[in-house]
A and B are shown apart, each in its own frame.
Chain A
Amino acid sequence: MSTFPATTYIVSGIFLLCLGTLAAGALIAVLSTRLIRSVCGLAICCVGLAGMYYFLRSPFLALMEILIYIGAVCVTIVFAVMLAEPDEAAEGRQHSLLWGTVALGVAAAIFWGLWQLGTHTAWAAPSVRANAGAVEDIGKSLLTTYSLAFEIISLALLVAILGALAIARTGRTKS
Protein backbone atom coordinates (compact mmCIF):
# COMPACT_ATOMS: atom_id res chain seq x y z
CA MET A 1 0.00 0.00 0.00
CA SER A 2 2.78 2.43 0.76
CA THR A 3 6.51 2.48 1.13
CA PHE A 4 6.56 3.57 4.76
CA PRO A 5 7.33 0.38 6.74
CA ALA A 6 5.19 0.70 9.86
CA THR A 7 2.04 1.97 8.14
CA THR A 8 -0.03 -1.08 9.09
CA TYR A 9 0.86 -0.75 12.76
CA ILE A 10 0.10 2.97 12.87
CA VAL A 11 -3.27 2.51 11.17
CA SER A 12 -4.03 -0.43 13.46
CA GLY A 13 -3.22 1.78 16.44
CA ILE A 14 -5.59 4.48 15.22
CA PHE A 15 -8.26 1.83 14.66
CA LEU A 16 -7.81 0.50 18.20
CA LEU A 17 -8.07 4.06 19.49
CA CYS A 18 -11.43 4.44 17.72
CA LEU A 19 -12.57 1.06 19.06
CA GLY A 20 -11.57 2.06 22.59
CA THR A 21 -13.37 5.40 22.25
CA LEU A 22 -16.50 3.56 21.12
CA ALA A 23 -16.40 1.07 24.00
CA ALA A 24 -15.54 3.67 26.65
CA GLY A 25 -18.28 6.02 25.45
CA ALA A 26 -20.88 3.26 25.47
CA LEU A 27 -19.88 2.19 28.99
CA ILE A 28 -19.98 5.78 30.28
CA ALA A 29 -23.39 6.22 28.65
CA VAL A 30 -24.97 3.28 30.48
CA LEU A 31 -23.05 3.19 33.77
CA SER A 32 -22.90 6.80 35.04
CA THR A 33 -25.53 7.90 37.52
CA ARG A 34 -25.71 11.56 36.46
CA LEU A 35 -27.60 11.78 33.18
CA ILE A 36 -25.56 14.67 31.83
CA ARG A 37 -22.45 12.46 31.98
CA SER A 38 -24.41 9.77 30.23
CA VAL A 39 -25.15 12.17 27.36
CA CYS A 40 -21.45 13.03 27.16
CA GLY A 41 -20.73 9.28 26.99
CA LEU A 42 -23.11 9.01 24.04
CA ALA A 43 -21.24 11.85 22.30
CA ILE A 44 -17.88 10.13 22.90
CA CYS A 45 -19.32 6.87 21.61
CA CYS A 46 -20.46 8.66 18.45
CA VAL A 47 -16.93 9.99 17.84
CA GLY A 48 -15.64 6.40 17.99
CA LEU A 49 -18.43 5.28 15.69
CA ALA A 50 -17.49 8.00 13.19
CA GLY A 51 -13.96 6.58 13.19
CA MET A 52 -15.40 3.11 12.51
CA TYR A 53 -17.33 4.48 9.53
CA TYR A 54 -14.15 6.08 8.26
CA PHE A 55 -12.37 2.73 8.42
CA LEU A 56 -15.34 1.15 6.61
CA ARG A 57 -14.50 3.47 3.69
CA SER A 58 -17.35 5.88 4.15
CA PRO A 59 -16.06 9.33 5.17
CA PHE A 60 -19.46 10.74 4.19
CA LEU A 61 -21.20 8.74 6.91
CA ALA A 62 -18.45 9.60 9.40
CA LEU A 63 -19.18 13.30 8.92
CA MET A 64 -22.94 12.70 8.99
CA GLU A 65 -22.58 10.77 12.26
CA ILE A 66 -20.82 13.69 13.91
CA LEU A 67 -23.20 16.23 12.41
CA ILE A 68 -26.46 14.45 13.24
CA TYR A 69 -25.70 12.55 16.43
CA ILE A 70 -23.40 14.95 18.25
CA GLY A 71 -24.71 18.12 16.68
CA ALA A 72 -28.42 17.38 16.85
CA VAL A 73 -29.31 14.36 18.98
CA CYS A 74 -26.92 14.95 21.90
CA VAL A 75 -27.65 18.68 22.04
CA THR A 76 -31.39 18.00 22.06
CA ILE A 77 -31.00 15.48 24.90
CA VAL A 78 -28.91 18.02 26.82
CA PHE A 79 -31.78 20.51 26.50
CA ALA A 80 -34.21 17.90 27.84
CA VAL A 81 -31.88 17.16 30.76
CA MET A 82 -31.72 20.87 31.57
CA LEU A 83 -35.51 21.24 31.42
CA ALA A 84 -36.52 18.11 33.32
CA GLU A 85 -33.85 17.59 36.04
CA PRO A 86 -34.07 13.81 35.70
CA ASP A 87 -31.33 12.58 38.05
CA GLU A 88 -32.00 9.10 39.35
CA ALA A 89 -32.78 8.95 43.03
CA ALA A 90 -30.76 6.51 45.09
CA GLU A 91 -33.23 3.86 46.10
CA GLY A 92 -33.37 0.24 47.30
CA ARG A 93 -29.78 -0.96 47.03
CA GLN A 94 -30.73 -4.65 47.16
CA HIS A 95 -33.36 -4.43 44.44
CA SER A 96 -31.10 -2.37 42.21
CA LEU A 97 -28.23 -4.84 42.61
CA LEU A 98 -30.43 -7.80 41.71
CA TRP A 99 -31.89 -6.05 38.69
CA GLY A 100 -28.41 -4.96 37.56
CA THR A 101 -27.23 -8.57 37.67
CA VAL A 102 -30.19 -9.69 35.57
CA ALA A 103 -29.51 -6.92 33.04
CA LEU A 104 -25.83 -7.86 32.91
CA GLY A 105 -26.71 -11.50 32.28
CA VAL A 106 -29.06 -10.62 29.41
CA ALA A 107 -26.47 -8.28 27.84
CA ALA A 108 -23.70 -10.89 28.16
CA ALA A 109 -25.91 -13.55 26.55
CA ILE A 110 -26.70 -11.25 23.62
CA PHE A 111 -23.03 -10.36 23.15
CA TRP A 112 -21.89 -13.99 23.37
CA GLY A 113 -24.51 -15.18 20.87
CA LEU A 114 -23.73 -12.49 18.32
CA TRP A 115 -20.00 -13.04 18.78
CA GLN A 116 -20.38 -16.75 18.06
CA LEU A 117 -22.57 -16.02 15.05
CA GLY A 118 -20.10 -13.47 13.68
CA THR A 119 -16.96 -15.55 14.07
CA HIS A 120 -18.31 -18.97 13.07
CA THR A 121 -20.00 -18.00 9.85
CA ALA A 122 -18.13 -17.93 6.55
CA TRP A 123 -19.22 -14.58 5.16
CA ALA A 124 -18.75 -14.59 1.40
CA ALA A 125 -17.00 -11.70 -0.25
CA PRO A 126 -18.79 -10.28 -3.31
CA SER A 127 -17.52 -11.41 -6.67
CA VAL A 128 -18.03 -8.05 -8.31
CA ARG A 129 -18.39 -4.47 -7.08
CA ALA A 130 -20.82 -2.21 -8.88
CA ASN A 131 -18.98 1.01 -7.97
CA ALA A 132 -16.51 2.47 -5.49
CA GLY A 133 -19.11 3.71 -2.99
CA ALA A 134 -17.73 7.25 -3.10
CA VAL A 135 -19.71 10.39 -2.30
CA GLU A 136 -20.36 10.91 -6.00
CA ASP A 137 -22.01 7.49 -6.29
CA ILE A 138 -24.12 8.14 -3.18
CA GLY A 139 -25.30 11.43 -4.65
CA LYS A 140 -26.27 9.79 -7.94
CA SER A 141 -28.17 7.02 -6.12
CA LEU A 142 -29.99 9.49 -3.86
CA LEU A 143 -31.22 11.44 -6.86
CA THR A 144 -32.16 8.43 -9.02
CA THR A 145 -32.80 5.06 -7.35
CA TYR A 146 -33.63 6.32 -3.88
CA SER A 147 -35.28 9.62 -4.73
CA LEU A 148 -38.69 8.45 -3.43
CA ALA A 149 -37.19 7.33 -0.11
CA PHE A 150 -35.32 10.64 0.08
CA GLU A 151 -38.54 12.60 -0.34
CA ILE A 152 -40.41 10.42 2.14
CA ILE A 153 -37.76 10.87 4.81
CA SER A 154 -37.91 14.64 4.42
CA LEU A 155 -41.68 14.38 4.86
CA ALA A 156 -41.19 12.16 7.94
CA LEU A 157 -38.83 14.73 9.47
CA LEU A 158 -41.32 17.54 8.82
CA VAL A 159 -44.18 15.57 10.39
CA ALA A 160 -41.95 14.65 13.35
CA ILE A 161 -41.08 18.29 14.00
CA LEU A 162 -44.73 19.38 13.77
CA GLY A 163 -45.76 16.50 16.03
CA ALA A 164 -43.08 17.37 18.57
CA LEU A 165 -44.30 20.98 18.65
CA ALA A 166 -47.92 19.89 19.05
CA ILE A 167 -47.17 17.41 21.85
CA ALA A 168 -44.91 19.78 23.77
CA ARG A 169 -47.52 22.54 23.52
CA THR A 170 -50.60 20.75 24.84
CA GLY A 171 -49.38 20.18 28.38
CA ARG A 172 -48.70 23.87 28.82
CA THR A 173 -50.83 25.77 31.30
CA LYS A 174 -51.03 29.48 31.92
CA SER A 175 -49.81 30.08 35.42
Chain B
Amino acid sequence: MNPIYDRLEIYLAAAAFLLATGVFGLLRRRTLIGMLISGELIFSAASLNVMAFNRFTAPDPVVGQVFVLFIMGLAAAEVAIALSIILAVYRNYRSVNTKDLSELNG
Protein backbone atom coordinates (compact mmCIF):
# COMPACT_ATOMS: atom_id res chain seq x y z
CA MET B 1 0.00 0.00 0.00
CA ASN B 2 1.20 3.45 -0.86
CA PRO B 3 2.04 5.91 1.93
CA ILE B 4 -0.72 8.31 2.88
CA TYR B 5 0.63 11.24 0.87
CA ASP B 6 0.62 9.17 -2.30
CA ARG B 7 -3.03 8.12 -2.46
CA LEU B 8 -5.67 9.80 -4.56
CA GLU B 9 -8.56 9.21 -2.12
CA ILE B 10 -6.96 11.34 0.60
CA TYR B 11 -6.72 14.35 -1.69
CA LEU B 12 -10.27 13.80 -2.95
CA ALA B 13 -11.52 13.63 0.64
CA ALA B 14 -9.68 16.87 1.49
CA ALA B 15 -11.25 18.57 -1.52
CA ALA B 16 -14.70 17.24 -0.58
CA PHE B 17 -14.21 18.57 2.95
CA LEU B 18 -13.26 22.01 1.62
CA LEU B 19 -16.31 22.05 -0.65
CA ALA B 20 -18.59 20.98 2.20
CA THR B 21 -17.27 23.67 4.56
CA GLY B 22 -17.58 26.25 1.78
CA VAL B 23 -21.22 25.35 1.12
CA PHE B 24 -21.90 25.30 4.87
CA GLY B 25 -20.47 28.79 5.25
CA LEU B 26 -22.29 30.05 2.19
CA LEU B 27 -25.62 28.92 3.65
CA ARG B 28 -24.90 30.09 7.17
CA ARG B 29 -23.21 33.47 6.73
CA ARG B 30 -25.36 36.57 6.80
CA THR B 31 -22.89 39.13 5.49
CA LEU B 32 -21.60 39.53 1.95
CA ILE B 33 -17.93 39.34 2.95
CA GLY B 34 -18.49 36.10 4.86
CA MET B 35 -20.17 34.60 1.83
CA LEU B 36 -17.26 35.74 -0.34
CA ILE B 37 -14.80 33.94 1.97
CA SER B 38 -16.87 30.76 1.71
CA GLY B 39 -16.84 31.13 -2.05
CA GLU B 40 -13.05 31.26 -1.96
CA LEU B 41 -13.07 27.96 -0.05
CA ILE B 42 -15.16 26.40 -2.83
CA PHE B 43 -12.68 27.73 -5.43
CA SER B 44 -9.86 26.11 -3.45
CA ALA B 45 -11.74 22.80 -3.35
CA ALA B 46 -12.08 22.83 -7.14
CA SER B 47 -8.39 23.63 -7.59
CA LEU B 48 -7.32 20.85 -5.23
CA ASN B 49 -9.53 18.36 -7.02
CA VAL B 50 -8.13 19.30 -10.42
CA MET B 51 -4.57 19.06 -9.12
CA ALA B 52 -5.19 15.64 -7.52
CA PHE B 53 -6.52 14.17 -10.76
CA ASN B 54 -3.72 15.90 -12.65
CA ARG B 55 -1.12 14.21 -10.48
CA PHE B 56 -2.61 10.71 -10.46
CA THR B 57 -4.55 10.17 -13.68
CA ALA B 58 -3.54 12.72 -16.33
CA PRO B 59 -1.03 11.77 -19.02
CA ASP B 60 0.23 15.35 -19.30
CA PRO B 61 0.92 16.83 -15.83
CA VAL B 62 1.25 20.39 -17.16
CA VAL B 63 -2.43 20.79 -18.11
CA GLY B 64 -3.80 20.73 -14.58
CA GLN B 65 -1.18 23.12 -13.25
CA VAL B 66 -1.90 25.67 -15.98
CA PHE B 67 -5.64 25.24 -15.38
CA VAL B 68 -5.28 25.83 -11.63
CA LEU B 69 -3.08 28.86 -12.32
CA PHE B 70 -5.87 30.33 -14.45
CA ILE B 71 -8.43 29.51 -11.73
CA MET B 72 -6.30 31.49 -9.27
CA GLY B 73 -6.09 34.45 -11.64
CA LEU B 74 -9.84 34.47 -12.18
CA ALA B 75 -10.42 34.14 -8.42
CA ALA B 76 -8.29 37.23 -7.84
CA ALA B 77 -10.26 39.15 -10.48
CA GLU B 78 -13.53 37.96 -8.96
CA VAL B 79 -12.48 39.09 -5.49
CA ALA B 80 -11.57 42.55 -6.78
CA ILE B 81 -14.96 42.96 -8.48
CA ALA B 82 -16.93 41.51 -5.57
CA LEU B 83 -15.22 43.73 -3.00
CA SER B 84 -15.81 46.87 -5.05
CA ILE B 85 -19.49 45.89 -5.30
CA ILE B 86 -19.56 45.30 -1.53
CA LEU B 87 -18.04 48.73 -0.90
CA ALA B 88 -20.58 50.38 -3.21
CA VAL B 89 -23.40 48.54 -1.39
CA TYR B 90 -22.00 49.66 1.96
CA ARG B 91 -21.95 53.28 0.84
CA ASN B 92 -25.61 53.12 -0.19
CA TYR B 93 -27.06 51.05 2.63
CA ARG B 94 -24.51 51.58 5.46
CA SER B 95 -24.61 47.78 5.91
CA VAL B 96 -23.40 44.59 4.19
CA ASN B 97 -25.89 42.41 6.01
CA THR B 98 -27.90 40.42 3.47
CA LYS B 99 -31.16 41.07 5.34
CA ASP B 100 -30.87 44.83 4.83
CA LEU B 101 -30.40 44.64 1.05
CA SER B 102 -34.09 44.32 0.30
CA GLU B 103 -34.85 47.24 -1.99
CA LEU B 104 -35.83 44.96 -4.91
CA ASN B 105 -37.93 42.79 -2.59
CA GLY B 106 -41.55 42.97 -3.82
Query: How many B residues touch the partner, as a band?
Result: 35 or more
Q: Are A114 and B79 in contact (CB under 8 A)?
A: no
Q: Which of B19-51 contact A (CB under 8 A)?
A: 19-25, 27-34, 36-38, 40-41, 44, 47-48, 51
Residues on A with C-beta less than 8 A from B38 are 29-30
Given contacts A56-B52, A107-B24, A123-B8, contact A137 B88 (CB under 8 A): no
B interface, by DSSP: helix, strand, loop or mixed? helix
Given contacts A39-B37, A84-B33, A107-B21, contact A126 B87 (CB under 8 A): no
Q: Could you mark each residue 50-88 of chain B with 1 if its beta carbon is under 8 Å from any beta carbon of chain A, else 0?
A: 011111111111110110111011111111110111111
CA distance A173 to B18 in the complex (A): 40
Shortest CB distance A142–B (Å): 6
Residues on B with C-beta less than 8 A from A130 are 59-62
Q: Are A165 and B84 in contact (CB under 8 A)?
A: yes
CA distance A101 to B1 in the complex (A): 38
CA distance A112 to B40 in the complex (A): 21
Q: Are B31 and A45 in contact (CB under 8 A)?
A: no
Shortest CB distance B58–A (Å): 6
Residues on B with C-beta less than 8 A from A39 are 37
Q: Could you mark each residue 4-48 of chain A with 1 if its beta carbon is under 8 Å from any beta carbon of chain B, else 0?
A: 000010011001100100110011011000010011011001100
Q: Are B83 and A61 in contact (CB under 8 A)?
A: no
CA distance A64 to B88 in the complex (A): 30
Closest to B31 in A: A86
Given contacts A80-B33, A133-B62, A149-B70, contact A29 B16 (CB under 8 A): no
CA distance A160 to B73 in the complex (A): 11
CA distance A38 to B25 in the complex (A): 10
